[in-house]
Every structure is written in C-alpha cells, then in structure tokens.
Amino acid sequence: MRFFLLLTFFIFSVGSGNGCQLENSSTEATKDWWETAQFYQIYPRSFKDSDGDGIGDLNGITSKLEYLKDLGVTAAWLSPIFTSPMVDFGYDISDFFDIQPEYGTLEDFRALIKRAKELDLKIILDFVPNHSSNESSWFKKSVKREKGYEDYYVWHDGKINATTGDREPPTNWLQYFRGSAWEWNEERQQYYLHQFAVQQPDLNYRNPLVVDQMKRVLRYWLNEGVSGFRCDALPPLFEVLPDADGQFPDEVMTGATDDPDDRDYLTTTYIENQPETIDMVYQWRTVLDDHKRIFGGNSSVLLIETYSAAWFSMQFYGNRSTEGAHLPFNFNLITVMEQKGLSASHVQEAIDLWLNNMPAGRTANWVIGNHDKRRAASRYGEEHIDAMNMLVMILPGASVTYQGEEIGMTDGDISWEDTVDPWGCNSNPDIYEQYTRDPERTPFQWTSGSNAGFTDGPSTWLPLADGYETVNVETESSADRSHLKIYKSLVALRKSSKTLQNGSTKYGILEEDVLVIRRSLTNSPTLVVLINFGTETKTVDVSQFDKSLTANLNLLIRSLDSTKTEGTGYDPLSLSLEPAEALILTTE
Ligand code: GLC
Ligand code: MG
C-alpha cells in the first residue's frame, strides 16, 4: 500500500548525455528516521579498549557514545559482539544469545543501550545468519545427530571416485576464504558445507527449525532494545536444491583467475543469489514489523550486506505486495572504483548504477568503507577523503560511515607475521596482501599519545596504522580545519537542510573531470556540489549544467586543501577548481 502511495509522489525521469541524469521530485512527506539517517559502523574490537587488554570492548564503546553524539550520527551498527572463538573475529558465533567475554557482559550491553537511549542514539547489531561457529552447541549436536539437530547444517556423504575408489567432496564449490567449501567430519562420517572458513559451517535454511531459531535471535535482541540489524553475507544463504539423487551440481570455471583456491576461479551460480534468500529477508522484515506492532516504539531496520548485481540486490527492497529490507547496502562507490579507478565518470557510473536500478519509492544509501574493504583514504587517495565523505552525505537517502573515515584514517601496514585475518592466513606470504582485511581494522585513533589513546594497556591486538600522531580525533578537534571538522559540518548540513532530506537530485560532469551534483527543492535553497577528480586545475561554467545557475553561489563547505573562503560568493559561470578540490555551494 505504502509503495503505491509513494509511487504517486515520485516522478522519475532518466535522461542521457552530458549532465543529464536521474531526477526525482518529491514532496516533503514526513520521512521515517532511517530514510535520512547517518549510520556509523563500529568494529568493536578496534574502537575503544576500556580494560587495558588491547582489545576494544562494550564499555569502551559506551565511553565514546558522546563522541558519536557530537559527530551527529543517528545510529551505530556494531560488528558482532556475540560469544565467538574469534576465528573470523566475531563472524563465527558460538552463542547467538550472549556476549563475547573479552567484549563484556549482557549487563554491559544493557548499560550501552541505556546510555545510547539517553543520548538519543540508536544501536543496530550485526545478524550473522549464514553460519555459526563449529563450536556452537548446535553444530556439536548436529555432529552427533542429536534429535532436532540432525539437519541443522548442510551435510553430505560426498562422492566415490569411480577410478580410485576414494571418497571426494560432493562438488567443486569454493569457500570465500580460499579452498574447498566442504570439510570432512570424522565423527559424523559426512562432509559439511562452509562458504566461509572451515570453522564457519553453513546453517541449513531448508530446515524450518533453523529458520525459527534465527527468528528467535532477532526477537531476543529486539527485546533488548536494539533498533535493527545489519544482516551479514546474504548472497550465500541458500544453495540450489539437490537433484532427485541428492546430488548438487558443480560450478564451472570463470577464467577470471588461474588460482584454483580463489573463490573467483569458479562461478557461484548454485551457491549464491537463490530466490529463497530474498523471501527469507521478507520473513525477517515481518518479524521486525510484528515486534513494532506488539511493543510499539520506533521502526527497527534491516540493512543487508550484498555485493551482488542489481538484479538480485534490488529485490531485497521488497516488491509490490511485500516490504523487504529498508536498505540493501549500496557498495557501488567502493566496487566501481576498485575495478576502474577513481574518476568523475566512474563516480557518475556508480551513482547511476544504484539510482537507475532502485525501485521507485525506495531509499538509497551510500557507503565508502567497511571492515572488509581498504580504507577510503587509501583507496581513493588521502586528498579525496573530504570529497568522498561529501558524496555520502549529499546524495539522497541514508549515509553510512565506517569508523575512522571521518578523520581520514589510512590502512595499516601489517606484516605476514602479524596477519590474523583468516582470509589472509589461508594464503601465503607472497599473496596475502591481496586477501587480508587486517589493514582496515587497525585500532581507532583517538589521540596522538600512547597507542593512539585506543588502550591504556601496553599493546594492541593489531598494530596501529602509521600517521596516528596527526590523524586522530584529539588533534583534528583542536585544529582550525580538519577532515573531522569537515565531516561534522557535512552532518550538520544534512540535518538542517530540507533540500538534502527531501529534494531532487541531478548530477553530471563538467570539463571531463568535475562532478557536479545539484540538490533542489521548491522554496528551499539549491545546493551545488563540485568535485574535481582530475589532476589539473579546471574552470567550469555551472550554467552549462543548469542554465538557471547564473548568480553568485555562496560557499558552505570546502575540502581541507581548498584555499577558497566560506561565506564568500563565487561566480558559477567561471569557477576554478584545483585538483581534488571539493566544494558545496548554495544559492542562499
Ligand atoms: C561478511 C562480513 C565479513 C565476514 C563474512 C563472514 O562479509 O562483513 O567480515 O568475514 O561475512 O561472516
Ligand atoms: Mg578490552
């Protein structure tokens, strides 16, 4: 119903050619909190340590909630905080209903929620549905074929090789973290499927007991006062159904790499993006909506982790009759640049890819970093960090910031000896840098002091990144200008600007390298963003993009190295931008 109502409010027109992109004119219909929210991802292990063991924890997070309040973010999502042997640093959960001891206790978690409520901050948890830890009691019971747990995981006898007579895995399927996705279990005398590490057996979603159990997990944490979930690793949730003989099909070679252990070596036709996965997300949405109906309060949200192509990802939003996830993450600003490099046209392509595929009436979102991808400042170049934070904050919909992107943290330089990420550890010293995710997980940089103020203890679980002496909250807060201060002014603008919350969006390219974005709303000031992604100074005529923009534009926010002056008017007919310079101007 809501879908049809919204449909009538939104008019989408898609054009082509220079400067002509997508435009939507929306009314100022009241938006729910998440539609214009600033989400902030906390990686708990690396955010703030309160007890000196060099590992971040819940009390550490609670002690820094005022920092989040001061940043102006709406909601924090915490990477997993549940009981775990930490093979994949919390993404291998052994007890979905309790807190990892080195992070704290359930009481600490309740104190965190209480403090967050006082500060009007929302807390979102990571929901890891695809797998558990092999140390979970569910898996142990399943190994023993205990009643009710026999089919909790994807078990298979494997195949007998006709020539050698040896037992072999059921298929050639590969895990994400390199190597076979099947592991032999001596005790049960069967193989189990693990799309991630050996210690992360895949739960069997074709078993209704598993489906119910995981809904219990959602309800349990909703009852503890959380405002929703970031749903981990959705594409591999379901695998194809086996044939009548119980056999699964093999995947075929892609030609993308000649490394037979790399997941990209084979297609993932049968092990990712199954239609049942979409339906499961719709079922979780019902769990959330039911909870709200019964207990009242604000909406809680589902954010979906998926790197799948648009044809699959967009289905998570829901369809004509069913609501789905509020926000399937939009990683295009990461992935398009990873593949093609940073340029104005590639940024335009990334924006197009989401907005031109998103069903009408749904809410976009923009992500430039997380704990699985290189630091934004390292990926795009440190000179572009303000520009990229601007994009996330200026484009329509929700924004998502990974901890540290607001101060411009860069990747840590982690040696093979110090590598702890399973993806890195499953490779070798020659190629680990291609796979390891440790560089983007180094401790948060609070001060220029000992261990960057992350811990009072003598050591940190991962080495600190270089540059923390200058790139840290304390230094950037006291500087006249800094990435942090620019980030805060972006959030403040988002919150105060009706144009950003409700306005339409048009974007294009000027002089090849300059991306221009216009946000406009009737009876409100128009905002114009200009970013020079090139390496040469460019002088642009903004009226070529929008012929109504001829009067001087007032500068609101500029990137760190820009030498222009805020509060000054600039002539849009001849506006010069230095390499990497990024500006937000207003007609007001
Ligand atoms: C997601 C997480 C990643 C984790 C994986 C397995 O991609 O973001 O960190 O390793 O799922 O749970
Ligand atoms: Mg600690």
What are the pLDDT tens digits along the chain (588 aa)? 444 444 433 333 333 334 444 444 445 568 999 999 999 999 999 999 999 999 999 999 999 999 999 999 999 999 999 999 999 999 999 999 999 999 999 999 999 999 999 999 999 999 999 999 999 999 999 999 999 999 999 999 999 999 999 999 999 999 999 999 999 999 999 999 999 999 999 999 999 999 999 999 999 999 999 999 999 999 999 999 999 999 999 999 999 999 999 999 999 999 999 999 999 999 999 999 999 999 999 999 999 999 999 999 999 999 999 999 999 999 999 999 999 999 999 999 999 999 999 999 999 999 999 999 999 999 999 999 999 999 999 999 999 999 999 999 999 999 999 999 999 999 999 999 999 999 999 999 999 999 999 999 999 999 999 999 999 999 999 999 999 999 999 999 999 999 999 999 999 999 999 999 999 999 999 999 999 999 999 999 999 999 999 999 999 999 999 999 999 999 999 999 999 999 999 999
* Structure token pair of residue 336: 């398009």
* Whether residues 184 and 62 fall in one domain: no
Does residue 4 form part of some domain? no
Distance between CA atoms of 558 and 301, rounded to whole angstroms?
A: 33
Mutate to test the pocket of ligand 1, among 46, 91, 203 (most ligand atoms within 8 A of CB): 91
DSSP label at 462? Answer: S
CATH code of the domain in which 150 resides: 3.90.400.10
- Nearest ligand, CA of residue 47? 2
CA-closest residue to ligand 1 atom 7: 233
Does residue 528 form part of some domain? no
* Whether residues 138 and 233 fall in one domain: no
Does residue 576 form part of some domain? no
Ligand 1 atom index nearest CA of 196: 6
What is the predicted pLDDT for the residue at 28? Answer: 55
* Whether residues 387 and 332 fall in one domain: yes
Ligand 1 center to residue 378 CA distance, Å? 21
Does residue 329 form part of some domain? yes
Q: Exactly one of 92, 183, 232, 386 is catalytic; which is it?
A: 232
Ligand 2 center to residue 44 CA distance, Å? 10
* Whether residues 275 and 419 fall in one domain: yes
* Whether residues 400 and 442 fall in one domain: yes
Mutate to test the pocket of ligand 1, among 196, 200, 306 (most ligand atoms within 8 A of CB): 196
DSSP string, 70-133: HHT-SEEEEPP-EE---TTTTSS-SEEEEE-GGG--HHHHHHHHHHHHHTT-EEEEEE--SB--
CA-closest residue to ligand 1 atom 12: 91
What is the predicted pLDDT for the residue at 30? Answer: 87
Ligand 2 center to residue 193 CA distance, Å? 33
* Whether residues 57 and 102 fall in one domain: yes
Does residue 173 form part of some domain? yes
Helix pair 344-355, 332-340: axis angle to 10 deg? 140
* Whether residues 86 and 198 fall in one domain: no
What is the predicted pLDDT for the residue at 216? Answer: 98
7 close to 21: Cβ distance less than 8 angstroms = no
Does residue 178 form part of some domain? yes
Does residue 23 form part of some domain? no
Ligand 1 atom index nearest CA of 370: 8
Ligand 1 center to residue 389 CA distance, Å? 24
Catalytic: 232?
yes
Q: Which residues line ligand 1 (CB under 6 A)?
A: 88, 91, 128, 196, 232-233, 305, 371-372
Distance between CA atoms of 244 and 222, rounded to whole angstroms?
A: 40
Q: Give the chain's domain count.
A: 2
Alpha-helical runs (H) found in 320-453: 332-340, 344-355, 376-380, 385-394, 422-425, 432-435
Distance between CA atoms of 378 and 463, rounded to whole angstroms?
A: 17
* Whether residues 319 and 404 fall in one domain: yes
Q: Which has the closest alpha carbon to 482: 581, 406, 412? A: 406
What is the predicted pLDDT for the residue at 19? Answer: 45
* Structure token pair of residue 411: 């990747």
Around Cβ 475, how many Cβ atoms within 10 Å? Answer: 18
Ligand 1 center to residue 371 CA distance, Å? 9
CA-closest residue to ligand 1 atom 1: 233
* Whether residues 158 and 46 fall in one domain: no
Catalytic: 28?
no
- Nearest ligand, CA of residue 195? 1
- Nearest ligand, CA of residue 82? 1
Residue at which a domain ends, from 459, 483, 507: 483
* Whether residues 413 and 291 fall in one domain: yes
Ligand 1 atom index nearest CA of 422: 10
Ligand 1 atom index nearest CA of 91: 12
Q: Which has the closest alpha carbon to 229: 293, 136, 305, 298? A: 305
Residue at which a domain ends, from 457, 483, 509: 483
- Nearest ligand, CA of residue 45? 2
**What is the β-pairing status of strands 190-193 and 182-185?**
antiparallel
CATH code of the domain in which 111 resides: 3.20.20.80
Mutate to test the pocket of ligand 1, among 81, 126, 194, 232 (most ligand atoms within 8 A of CB): 232
CA-closest residue to ligand 1 atom 4: 91
Ligand 1 center to residue 438 CA distance, Å? 13
Q: Exactly one of 57, 92, 251, 305 is catalytic; which is it?
A: 305
Ligand 1 atom index nearest CA of 128: 12
Ligand 2 center to residue 46 CA distance, Å? 9
Question: How remote is the C-alpha of 451 from its chain's centroid?
Answer: 27
* Whether residues 51 and 78 fall in one domain: yes
| Per-residue CA distances from 334 to 42, 342, 374, 509 (Å) | 18, 10, 9, 20
Ligand 1 center to residue 265 CA distance, Å? 20
Residue at which a domain ends, from 436, 468, 483: 483
Does residue 144 form part of some domain? yes
* Whether residues 58 and 164 fall in one domain: no
- Nearest ligand, CA of residue 456? 2
Domain limits for position 276: 32-130+208-249+269-483
**Confidence (pTM):** 0.95
